[in-house]
């Protein structure tokens, strides 16, 4: 689907479900990561995540578009356009839009890079970031801490 196809489709959805025209631009944005779409308050344009179309198909994307159109039409008419507003929740339910979008993929967890060990009780604390062990003591026995790198080739 091209941006032109998306534009025509959104205009049709707007007329069919909202009874109003969509007079701004809608386009795919590859850089969206954690959301299915985004309504831009200042320009009134809508950005859509193409990964949702690839992973879940047209029905999921239609729900996302209806959600963004709720923001669009309510904002332009001066009503409550935010997620917490009653107007938004009611309109979203009327048109059958998605309240939440499906996840695209799990975020890759950063592995632990450091391990902090208590000299006295040998308790271990895994850490992603380096810390100043002189400022802290063991949470179990108040002993002195030593920091070691789990991957010595990556530094420290």
Asked if residues 26 and 43 have their Cβ atoms less than 8 Å apart, the reply is: no
Strand, coil or helix: 3: helix
Residue that the structure tokens 């970031």 belong to: 129
Nearest to 94 by CA among 109, 111, 74: 74
Active site residues: 68
Pairing of strands 37-39, 114-118: unpaired
């Amino acid at each position: 689907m091209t941006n032109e196809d998306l534009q025509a489709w959104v205009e049709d959805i707007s007329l069919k479900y909202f009874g109003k025209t969509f007079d701004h631009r809608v386009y795919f944005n590859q850089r969206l990561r954690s959301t299915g779409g985004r309504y831009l308050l200042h320009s009134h344009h809508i950005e859509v995540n193409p990964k949702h179309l690839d992973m879940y198909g047209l029905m999921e994307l239609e729900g996302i578009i209806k959600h963004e159109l709720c923001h669009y039409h309510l904002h332009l008419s001066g009503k409550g356009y935010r997620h917490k507003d009653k107007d938004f929740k009611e309109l979203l339910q009327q048109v059958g839009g998605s309240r939440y979008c499906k996840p695209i993929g799990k975020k890759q967890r950063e592995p632990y890079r450091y391990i902090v060990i208590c000299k006295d009780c040998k308790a271990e604390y895994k850490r992603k970031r380096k810390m100043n062990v002189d400022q802290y003591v063991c949470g179990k026995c108040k002993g002195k801490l030593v920091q070691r790198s789990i991957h010595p080739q990556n530094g420290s």
